[in-house]
Amino acid sequence: MSRAHATANWLSSPSPGRRSESLAAFRFRGSHRPLLPNTSGSRLYAAVDTTSHVEVFDTARNVRIEQIDTVGPAGVYENQKMLSGANTNALVLTPDERTLLVSNGGQNSVAVVRLSATARGTAPRQKERDGDENDSHDDSATIGLVPTGWYPTGVATSKNGATWYIVNGKSPMGPNDAWCNTAGGVYCDPKVAPRTMAWTYAGNGIAQLLAKNTHVNQLEHAGFLTMPGPDGVELARLTKLVARNNGLDQATKAAADERLFSFLRGHIKHVIYIMKQNRSYDQVFGDLGVGNGDPRLTFFPEKISPQSPCYCPEFRHAG
């Protein structure tokens, strides 16, 4: 869980000719993404991606009243250690404001959260005659998970709540077919006349890739999912699917992992993790001379980034 703290500011709506003013500031653990008020403005919901929680605030009393774990229902995954990683990053209320839909980017799912009367900002009522017990719950809880595309980043509903809309931000990239290599180390693009192009060469004499739909962020695509809001039976089925996709239902494996990490914690003092974000082994270490590297794809050769190969003599391995 992140030790950093964030502040959510609740601003007033300005009158004509006047500036908005801060009505309250809520401090909590983690880094929040979106903020969502209910219709009356009595409640403020904050998605905290670093802790996989939703924080619920009472705007009249300026206090936090609930913290909701969105990793999964307790019956599927009892998150006793409050592990994060779901990357909670988007929110929407259903039209009746009884349910909160929460996008979990790192889990490829949308969490379905049943809000308590307190979290909704309504006084608890007696159970209705039709057997609806939604108002009898003291605490909000995640009651289900819906599978999505790769890394959902947004969720919305139709006006009547019958249809859900989910945007995912990533996709499999596929081959980098804009790149080719000829005998002279020339970058080829059939849509661009090579004679009009000023070539930029890397320190190792091999032409670098040009930023023309060759980077990971240029090759991946967003997606848009439209689905009917599931009933209880369908939600249970979808929840099991998300649990299987994320390994939440593998109790034996979880116990084995716990034993392994317990052993590692007793024998390892430090772990040095060097990350080259959105870069492949070939792009950074393709010319290193070890491993399964392709020097033709090297984007940052040793002469350009000498610090990277310096890390390798003690840590590198053939792969």
**Contact between residue 9 and residue 44 where contact means Cβ atoms under 8 Å apart:** no
CA distance 85 to 276: 20
Domains and CATH numbers, the chain: 5-172+220-260 (2.120.10)
164, burial (CB in 10 Å: exposed 0-12, middle 13-18, buried 19+): buried
Q: What is the pLDDT of residue 289?
A: 76
**How many beta carbons lie within 10 A of that of residue 301, not counting itself?**
24
pLDDT at residue 12 in the model: 46
DSSP 7-21: EEEEEPPPPTT----
Q: What is the pLDDT of residue 11?
A: 47
Which string of b and e fits 199-222 if b means at least 16 CB within 10 Å? eeebeeebbbbeeeebbeeebbee
Q: What is the pLDDT of residue 310?
A: 59
Q: Which residue do the tokens 């939604």 mark?
A: 134
The one-letter amino acid at 286: G
pLDDT (0 to 100) of residue 193: 37
Q: Measured between alpha carbons, how far is 11 from 18 in angstroms, rounded to an integer?
A: 13
What pLDDT score does 190 carry?
42
Q: How deeply is 245 buried, as exposed, middle or buried, from its count of CB atoms within 10 A (0-12, 13-18, 19+)?
A: middle
DSSP state letter for 196: G
Which pair of tokens denotes residue 250? 């593998």
CA angle 237, 241, 246 (to 5 degrees): 150
Per-residue model confidence (pLDDT) at position 62: 83
Residues of the chain with pLDDT under 50: 1-4, 10-14, 125-131, 133-135, 181-196, 199, 207, 209, 317-319
Is pTM, for the whole model, over 0.85?
Answer: no
Q: What is the pLDDT, as a whole number, of residue 196?
A: 47
Tokens of 286: 């393709």
pLDDT for position 172 = 86
Structure tokens at 77: 């995954």
Q: Return the structure tokens found at 268.
A: 């390892």
